[in-house]
Chain A
């Protein structure tokens, strides 16, 4: 959960806060989890963390891309940092537009550092169905990124 939060949020401090809040939320809302439902507890937990991260990102101010070129500090390290931040924001904005199941599958795959069989288990899918869902998610993400003018690393470097 911590890895997922940090990769989505891009910094350790916010990731720690979100994971803490999630544990407290899970503690206080445990009764609302329906074990007879389709979602496993781990799936629900991942989604709670992911939604908390996306909520927090929505509240964070994002500097427009063209402001990166007008930085007062033009040293390579500060430029790199600003560009890395922009790439991160673009990715998260694109991920946020994915359908929920594709978003969860891709988040587990990319950010949760979860193996395909484990992701399939968490998503309550067969391995082939999970791989198909991931493939659909990647296709949708490529389309969303293309719509934002991003077709590869070169577009934000």
Chain B
């Protein structure tokens, strides 16, 4: 029993969910941590990646590699432009409202039965990832890494963490470039940046696109990992998981989002398994908690974490209060 909890916790720490949300959080960190954009619709960028890939392959019969390009660049860039053009000139909370509304509305559109032949409605699309798994050097039926992962999971694990590493490197290089310094200047004082002749709107738009693309890559890997793109995998609450990851690890730090995502999923996996064991062994009575309710407690946990962090520790665990905190402005 304890061994089961331990394995699940470790799987949470380094497993698939930590990877998807690490990527989503890296993107969000560029939005919020470095530029100060309040994107509450990271879920829709993730969905853009997942649907960009799956619709290219399943709906339009394109190749997987074209799908990767569409999912990583075409869909999220269009989305960022649509979201950004009306809102980026305005106060930060307008972007928040527009993004959260878009995320929910996109999900509703994707599950509309009338669009079944395009989006697969509420069942979503599947069967687009075989080219990816054909490249796998792992034997699907074998277990790897101390029996933690099956072959195909292991393949996603390897590719996923390599992608995370590349994105961290990209973030590091960009943020320490002149371009990145302008972003931080905009975050600190947009008017000052503008008065120095920087076009704040353009920089904010570029940051929105970049973070959106990284989030879309996360969504795409999620779609590949679960072998399906389903609207309900991208509910608005998914965005808040990424937010918790960013704030927990420390917004405005390079490694913060990744560490935050790993810690978040480690805690969630531990709580989940412990509660499930409690339910199945009868330690937690039925009137208190049933198997279905375990998943709901997870969201309460995430909500409480957000409240706690924003209130008590806005710089997160590793963040530097001087560099970036929620309280900056």
- Whether A associates with B in a native complex is no
Q: Could you tell me which B residues sit within 8 Å of A by CB distance?
A: none
Q: Could you tell me which A residues sit within 8 Å of B by CB distance?
A: none
